[in-house]
Amino acid sequence: MSARSRSTATPRALEPGSSTRRFLGLLRPVRGRFLAVVVLTAFGVGLTAIGPLVLARATDTLVNGLLGAQLPSGQSREEVVAALRASGRETLAGVVASTDLVPGRGIDFGELGRLLGVTVGIYSTATLLQLVAVGQTNRAIHHVMLRLRVRVERKLNRTPVATVDTYGRGDLLSRVTNDVDNTTASLTQAMGQLLTACFTLISVLVAMLYLSPLMTLVTLSTLPLAVWATRALVRRSQPRFVAQWKQMGALSATIEESISGHEVISSFHSGQQHVAELGERNDRWASESVRAQVASGLAMPLMTFVGNLSYVLVCVVGGLRVASATMTVGEIQAFVQYGRQISSPIGQISGLLNELQSGIASTARVLEFLDGPEEETGVPERRRLRGRVEFEHVDFGYEPGKPVLRDLSLVAEPGETVAVVGPTGVGKTTLAHLLLRFYDVERGRVLLDGHDVRELARADVRSHIGVVLQDPWLFEGTIAENVSYGRQDAHRSDVERAASRTGLDQFVAVLPHGLDTHIDADGANLSAGERQLVTITRAFVAEPEVLVLDEATSAVDSRTTMHVQRALAELQRDRTCLVIAHRLATVRQADRILVLDQGRVVESGSHEELLHRRGAYAELQRTRLEAS
């Protein structure tokens, strides 16, 4: 691979800080809705925090009534307190002094009912606001997710082949599926639970401070312990989550291999070996996953423990405060409630931050892919070329220090059929990769009608080159859709004309819906020959000036060979044709045969000329004949 293309093909890793920023940046397109969610959540949670204050009043009304009913009427509260103190009942005196009861008066049910009504109203409104916030959150996240998936889909279509190779197909698959899902789940949590937890923390803190700064301090005295535990857990779990998602990528790669190579695996009975490898990767993923989950799973029990500690402190100190008449029983009850309300968001925030780490790690992987190099887009200029192909002193290697082509030069004149032969792995297919700009040369030039292909847009180059590969690629859809894939603006008449020229029409005539017959993914319900006829017809529709045939007839059964040969001959007529020949039987008709060896063209001529010369080609023929 060239130094230039190598540097652009390598994906860059994101800085940890910038990935968090960009994770939150995903919410930018829905900022209006996000703001609405923030406001709704703030009000909803704020109301919930007011609830215990009203309930405190209700409790005090109850305590006042219960105590008051037992005290003699006709005395003032102060007189009752003094009498209790005189009889040595200090604690009860303190409790009575902390209230505003009227001796002899029982429970004020009217006041109690009103307070309970207010409480129900507060909690109902809070629930309603939070429900609306959840609805808005879901809509916003749905929108963000949709945009992200569209971006990923677009990017996939623009990612250069070289970059896909760099990631590895399985890892890429995992980035665009698992990591996108995980990003979405984390955003939902960040926008929902995390927001609620943060607002709860703030509003409860304000309510507690309003009631009693001292008791607030007592309630929060366990906070440093909670913060320390949270930070320790986050530090431990973040690298574990990154490792977990990395292992998930590797696992997906193995699964993808076993699906795409299913037939080969079955035919070589190597299923067991594959299962073993899958098992090993699965184990590695499971072990990373367990480590990550154990680290983050410790958060909840730890926070519950800290919460309970604070509860005990509030009860003890609160009891003393009531006895010393500085607080009411209702207020202490409110603090018990607040203590619970505040311990839950502290625990939640730590747990959610842990999960967010996993989401941010996934986002970094998705963004790394989205930031990766891409091919220029745009509609190719549709102008006719003569179709002259030239490789001029080309040097190229996929990996540094491993050259494949060395100072290679060749010319295919317009309309000429040039076959390239040579030992396996010598670089024949690489010629097609360079011509199509899947990769760029390291040194030298590849010229199309005299233009350096690197100076033309990739889409432009490819619009002039038709490719028929060894392994026909078909997608799920009708035969006509598969054929017209060769040219976006192809009409039905173009498809029909091409089908009649390649003979595909005769094959589809017996199918139930002709050209509109639906084919499975990869054309599994067609024979190999039929699949190839479809791809040849596809190349026909595109009307390219140059054709690359990658040993197009190798996978064809004898019944269809003749048809495919005829279709190919028709396709080759009046076009420059580069035949990447992996078998020698198919090259005899070529105008010229080039023999590649050690990265160079070592012989050139017609079949007869080369045989006569008794050089590399004759040697290749002889070894092949002996081998067969």
Ligand X SMILES: Nc1ncnc2c1ncn2[C@@H]1O[C@H](COP(=O)(O)OP(=O)(O)OP(=O)(O)O)[C@@H](O)[C@H]1O
Interface with ligand X (CB under 6 A): 165, 398-399, 404, 422, 424-430, 582
Concatenating the DSSP letter of every residue in 1-58 gives: --HHHHHHHSPPPPPHHHHHHHHHHTTGGGHHHHHHHHHHHHHHHHHHHHHHHHHHHH
Q: How far is the CB of 402 from ligand X (least distance, A)?
A: 7
Report how far residue 603's alpha carbon sits from residue 615's, in angstroms, rounded to the nearest whole number.
Answer: 8
In order of 66, 96, 312, 548, the CA distances from 324 in angstroms are 20, 10, 19, 95
Q: How far is the CB of 161 from ligand X (least distance, A)?
A: 8
- The tokens of 132 are what? 């609306």
Q: How far is the CB of 582 from ligand X (least distance, A)?
A: 4
Secondary structure element (H or E) that encloses residue 317, with its range: helix 299-323
Residue closer to ligand X, measured from CB, 417 or 430? 430
Residue closer to ligand X, measured from CB, 81 or 432? 432
Report how far residue 93's alpha carbon sits from residue 560's, in angstroms, rounded to the nearest whole number.
Answer: 106
- The tokens of 195 are what? 């927001």
Residue closer to ligand X, measured from CB, 305 or 398? 398
- The tokens of 381 are what? 């200029």
Residue closer to ligand X, measured from CB, 423 or 615? 423
Q: How far is the CB of 462 from ligand X (least distance, A)?
A: 18
Q: How far is the CB of 398 from ligand X (least distance, A)?
A: 3
Concatenating the DSSP letter of every residue in 512-534 gives: TTGGG-EE-GGGTTS-HHHHHHH
Residue closer to ligand X, measured from CB, 339 or 444? 444
Report how far residue 591's alpha carbon sits from residue 145's, in angstroms, rounded to the nearest whole number.
Answer: 54
The DSSP bridge pattern shows strands 546-550 and 576-580 to be: parallel
Report how far residue 550's alpha carbon sits from residue 581's, in angstroms, rounded to the nearest whole number.
Answer: 7
Residue closer to ligand X, measured from CB, 345 or 427? 427
Closest residue by Cα to residue 157 from 146, 149, 168: 149
Residue closer to ligand X, measured from CB, 383 or 402? 402
Rg (CA), the chain: 38
Q: How far is the CB of 550 from ligand X (least distance, A)?
A: 8
Q: How far is the CB of 594 from ligand X (least distance, A)?
A: 12
Q: How far is the CB of 429 from ligand X (least distance, A)?
A: 3
Length of the chain: 628
All residues at 6 or more sequence positions from 384 whose CB lies less than 8 Å from its CB, including other chains: 545
Residue closer to ligand X, measured from CB, 399 or 608? 399
